[in-house]
Amino acid sequence: MRDGRIGVGMIGLSPGEGWAARAHVPALRALPAYELVAVANTSLESARASATVFGIPGAYGDAAALARAPDIDLVVVTVKVPHHRALVEAAVAAGKMVYCEWPLGNDLAEAEVMAEAARAAGVRTVVGLQARSSPVLRYLGDLLRSDYVGEVLSTTLVGSGGLLGPTTSARDAYTNDRANGATMLTFPFGPTVDALCGCLGEFRDLSAVTAMRRHSSKIMETGQESPIKAEDQVVVAGTLEGGAVASVHYRGGSSLGTNLRWEINGTQGDLEITASSGHLQLSPLTLRGAREGDPGLTELPVPAAYRTVPNALPSHVVNVAEVYAQFTLGDRAPHPVADFDGAVQRHRLIRAIETSAAEGHRVAP
Confidence (pLDDT) at 331: 87
Domain count along the chain: 2
Q: How far apart are CA 346 and CA 194, in angstroms?
A: 7
Tell whether 191 and 283 lie within a shared domain. yes
Is 36 a domain residue? yes
Cβ pair 94, 73 in contact under 8 A? no
* pLDDT band at 292; cut points 50, 70, 90: very high
pLDDT in tens, 310-340: 999 999 999 999 999 999 998 898 888 999 9
Rounded to an integer, the average pLDDT of 59-66 is 97
Rounded to an integer, the average pLDDT of 68-87 is 97
What single-letter amino acid sits at 115? A
Tell whether 115 and 52 lie within a shared domain. yes
Q: How many CB atoms lie within 10 A of CB 215?
A: 10
* pLDDT band at 17; cut points 50, 70, 90: confident
Rounded to an integer, the average pLDDT of 199-225 is 97
Residues 6 or more apart whose CB falls under 8 angstroms from that of 159 comprise 188, 189, 192, 248, 249, 250, 251, 259, 260, 261, 262, 278, 280
pLDDT of 50 higher than 90: yes
Is 308 a domain residue? no
Confidence (pLDDT) at 4: 86
Domain with residue 96: its CATH number is 3.40.50.720
Rounded to an integer, the average pLDDT of 238-266 is 97
Q: How far apart are CA 333 and CA 260, in angstroms?
A: 28
pLDDT in tens, 162-195: 999 999 999 899 999 999 989 999 999 999 999 9
* pLDDT band at 24; cut points 50, 70, 90: very high
Q: Provide the domain limits for residue 18.
A: 6-130
Element containing residue 190 per DSSP (H, E): helix 189-200
Tell whether 96 and 179 lie within a shared domain. no
pLDDT in tens, 228-251: 999 999 999 999 999 999 999 999
**Most distant pair of Cα atoms in the chain: their distance:** 65
* pLDDT band at 29; cut points 50, 70, 90: very high
Tell whether 57 and 117 lie within a shared domain. yes
Confidence (pLDDT) at 26: 98
Whether the model clears a pTM of 0.75, i.e. scores above it, the answer is yes
Tell whether 54 and 112 lie within a shared domain. yes
Rounded to an integer, the average pLDDT of 241-267 is 97
Rounded to an integer, the average pLDDT of 93-105 is 98
Tell whether 66 and 175 lie within a shared domain. no
Rounded to an integer, the average pLDDT of 102-126 is 98
Tell whether 263 and 290 lie within a shared domain. yes
pLDDT in tens, 116-142: 999 999 999 999 999 999 999 999 999
Tell whether 94 and 211 lie within a shared domain. no
Domain boundary among 69, 101, 130: 130
Tell whether 171 and 262 lie within a shared domain. yes
Confidence (pLDDT) at 2: 65
Confidence (pLDDT) at 1: 63
HSE at residue 16, side-chain half, CA atoms within 13 A, is 7
Report the mean per-residue pLDDT for the chain.
Answer: 96
List phi, psi (to 5°) of 65: -65, -40
Confidence (pLDDT) at 229: 96
pLDDT of 58 higher than 70: yes
Tell whether 43 and 141 lie within a shared domain. no
Q: How far apart are CA 39 and CA 51, in angstroms?
A: 7
Rounded to an integer, the average pLDDT of 220-227 is 96
Radius of gyration of the chain (CA): 20
